[in-house]
Amino acid sequence: MKRLFAILAFAAMLMTSCTKTNPFLAEWDTPYGIPPFDQIKEAHYIPAIEEGIKQHNAEIEAIVNNPEAPTFDNVIGAYDLSGGLLAKVSGVLFNLAETDITPTLEKIVDDATTMLSQHENEIIFNKALFAKVEAVNNAKEGLGLTREQEMVLDKVYRSFADNGIALDEAGQARMKEINTELSTLSNKFGNMLLKENNAFKAKFGVAISEYTGAMTTEEDRAKREEMFRAYSNRGNNGNENDTKETLLRILTLKEEKAKLLGYDNPAAWILSDKMAKTPAAVDAFLENIFKYAVAQAKKEVIDMQLVMDDDIKAGKLPAGSKIEPWDWFYYAEKVRKAKYDLDEEQVKPYFKMENVREGVFNTAAKLYGLKFEKIENAPVYHPDVEAFKVTNAADGSLIGILTTDYFPRESKRGGAWMNNIRDEYVTADGTMVRPIIVNVGNFNKPTADKPSLLSLDNVETMFHEFGHALHGLLTQCHYRTVSGTAVARDFVELPSQINENWAFQKEVLAGYAKHYETGEVIPDELVEKIIAAGNFNQGFMTTELCAASILDMKWHELSSVEGIDVEAFEKKACEEMGLIGEIIPRYRTTYFNHIFNSGYSAGYYSYLWAEVLDKDAFELFMEKGIFDPATAKSFKENILEKGGSEDPMVLYKAFRGAEPDPDALLRARGLK
């Protein structure tokens, strides 16, 4: 007995020592539970994950070994609350993996990804656990569940059923191997692309996020072509960061996984629980949009060719020159200036980053009654990051914490996105945990003599990502499984895309678009030009987006990629869809991070699908008033607060009163 007490005392001493040295294993004494980034070291991650797996296994065993009859609370509710330490570590680690990666952290992420994938496999294929889940699912009609509980139960049940719990022992073993390799390869793809992006910047002095702007202003056509070819061949250079072999392996594994689960191809499997339901529905949806988009794009080519012809006559270009993909941004800008007298450089001074962010905040304040306060000296993972406390203006109650990280660096991947560092949920004792959300961008960094000045596209992007943040911040769900943005992929873009609609409304611009030097509010003349040019170049923008969505579907509708040449397949796909030679897909296969590393496999169409919803929804705001309290309240309560606690179309109809008009997108983009 004495020996046992000695062992227990020694174990307790070790745990106390570990807790003191590893911040993940202690409560965070920071404002609002923000991670203590200054205390977290790279050496802390793997030990914390190991401990998190150990704790999670114990929680799963407690569910399995509970002698009481299975109920929603002791099985599904307990399962939803399990894995708290892993969620805590993952929220920090995988955010830094995208925003501030180092060579050491890259290796840690690789190891952590493998460990977590293997751990998830053990849970997904735990037959004893599934038996408990299945027992609750079979008895659900008589349990008196809330609608949210029904959705949580269905999602948890499907997480087992749709991932191979019914497979035989050999099938399950193979599925585990597939899942682990897929998680590793996806991470590898992202890392290779980051290196390709950094190589592009090293060569041209232009970050990937600045490419469009550089192509718009670069007068040297040969330089534009060189930049275009480097940009559009990322991941396709035959070097150590060539992604073709990796992406083909990813597709091969997805195909094998789909067939193990009884589906013909990955698209059929992935879409089975989305709003669209089937690949055929997505294909028909995209085909309809594409025909209008490419018809408009052909008209835009004619307009640009006329301007190019003037350059030919002036001796700036050789006779017979035609618009090529590397000419599009340059000549589109010339056409815009001619048609609308709108110069991007003329409007940028009115879009200082801090002012735009203030406009984003003020819009949310007017719509949803929110208040934003900067948290001074908050723990942050990089000096560029700022943190804000978000509260309900009426009663001061905490909504959540928002951090913004808007400037590019070599340790950050390109693009813009929203992450959850901490989800919203209700603990076992009834305490509501409010979320910590991060908005990430890659906008122009301030210089010694100029602040960060945003392009019109940057402004729209900030409003877009903040729409995702609102979805994560305002959620009022009980369970993490359906909290915030945990919704069907083709529904998740509704909150983000509808938020873009306020960016250039006159009333909104008047509040935030102020000249960074003089403080002058943007003149009405410029506002009118911005509004008039709102649908300019939509043929191109819709075509490149639609083309990427179709390319995504083409890859994931394959039953086998054996013997396929990536470039040849992509070329054929573009020819079959009718893509004109002056345009390439927004993302070519070898740098299509969305579908090989970011969860949008057979799902890139979601942006257009959700835009039908957002444009139809905003038509109601336009009808009632863009800040109409009743309409904003309905959108907040029926969409933003509900997360995945109800079927997406039910939520939408509760807000709108009807299903969306499919032509709303075409009207909004000026295509019909």
How far apart are alpha carbons 616 and 666 in whole angstroms?
10
Q: How far apart are the first and last CA of the chain?
A: 83
662 to each of 266, 487, 606, 668, how far by Cα in Å?
A: 26, 21, 14, 11
Q: So which residues are the catalytic ones?
A: 465
How far apart are alpha carbons 554 and 643 in whole angstroms?
30
Cα dihedral across residues 49, 53, 54, 55: positive or negative: positive
Q: What is the DSSP string of 574-600?
A: HHHHT--TT---SS-GGG-HHHHHSS-
Instruction: Give Cβ neighbours of residue 609 (< 8 Å, ≥ 6 apart).
Output: 275, 276, 282, 285, 490, 493
Local structure of residue 73 (DSSP, 8 states): I
Angle at 611 between CA 608 and CA 616, to 5 degrees: 145
Q: Helix, strand, coil proportions of the chain in percent (round to 5)?
A: 60, 5, 30
How far apart are alpha carbons 69 and 136 in whole angstroms?
9
> β-strands 417-422, 436-440: how paired?
antiparallel
How far apart are alpha carbons 52 and 87 in whole angstroms?
9
Q: What is the DSSP string of 186-215?
A: HHHHHHHHHHHHHHHHHHHS--GGGHHHHH
Rg, the chain, Cα only: 26
Instruction: Give Cβ neighbours of residue 258 (< 8 Å, ≥ 6 apart).
Output: 264, 265, 266, 268, 269
**Alpha-helical runs (H) found in 428-504:** 456-474, 493-500
293 three-class SS? helix
Q: What is the DSSP string of 138-165?
A: HTGGGTT--HHHHHHHHHHHHHHHTTTT
The DSSP bridge partners found for residue 261 are none
How far apart are alpha carbons 105 and 194 in whole angstroms?
14
How far apart are alpha carbons 398 and 633 in whole angstroms?
18
User: Are 64 and 133 spatial neighbours (Cβ–Cβ below 8 Å)?
Assistant: no
How far apart are alpha carbons 401 and 408 in whole angstroms?
22
Cα 514 to chain centroid distance, Å, stands at 30
How far apart are alpha carbons 469 and 402 in whole angstroms?
8
